[in-house]
A and B are shown apart, each in its own frame.
Chain A
Amino acid sequence: EAGVAQSPRYKIIEKRQSVAFWCNPISGHATLYWYQQILGQGPKLLIQFQNNGVVDDSQLPKDRFSAERLKGVDSTLKIQPAKLEDSAVYLCASSLRSAGGRETQYFGPGTRLLVL
């Protein structure tokens, strides 16, 4: 079974530029998550999708971050404009369904973003 795919693996941009990350979850997984992992910290949830609907985006900085999952499969996360503090690893995860917190989330390799 193929895992969660993410691209690009690395990205370097200057502040105020825009950047987009792509995620393809495990086939058949209805729930998709984007996390931000700043160096030396644990991942922090940015947004959760159930199929193509948003379940939780309470920690997404909506003034600069946006995400979509139009057909309920792939997802993109965009930052516009980027700030220095956005330098982090952006992790995508998927799970089969929402089941009261009992479903395992499977993580992709992440996209490492450096904002100069």
Chain B
Amino acid sequence: GNSVTQMEGPVTLSEEAFLTINCTYTATGYPSLFWYVQYPGEGLQLLLKATKADDKGSNKGFEATYRKETTSFHLEKGSVQVSDSAVYFCASTQGGSEKLVFGKGTKLTVNP
């Protein structure tokens, strides 16, 4: 089966800093890739997704590009806000199926 490896946290940044959370995957075929965000006490919310190579997903100032050559889907944001403090999960489907495999999550704390 496939697996997802993401940057271990926690990550602590100051407001307006640049954010990168690395994510790499191993999979057969052409998986779809997702970033989900989990705010304290809440369920997972889809942040962005990409379904084929070179696609760029974007939402709320966050971006990630599906890089097949490096099997990566790194999450970036140019200027983080305190409200971005949450746990971020990278996920991949197993080729052709709906089954999502998640990374362990990266906790982000943004200080004013």
Q: Which residue of B lies closest to A44 (CB)?
A: B102
B91 proximal to A (CB < 8 A): yes
CA distance A103 to B94 in the complex (A): 13
> CA–CA, A56 to B96, complex, Å?
13
Query: A41-B105, A42-B103, A44-B102 known; A101 and B97 CB under 8 Å?
Result: yes
Please state if A102 and B105 are interface contacts (CB–CB under 8 Å): no
Asked if residues A31 and B105 are in contact (CB atoms below 8 Å), the reply is no
Count of chain B residues near A, Cβ 8 A: 27
A interface with B by C-beta (< 8 Å): 4, 6, 31, 33, 40-45, 48, 55-56, 91, 93, 95, 98-110
CB-based closest 3 A-B pairs:
A42-B102, A101-B93, A107-B44
Q: How far is the CB of A45 from chain B (nearest CB, A)?
A: 5
Task: List, in ascending order, chain A residues with CB within 8 A of B95's CB.
Answer: 101
- Given known A44-B102, A45-B99, contact A91–B44 (CB-CB < 8 A): yes
Contact A110 B43 (CB under 8 A): yes
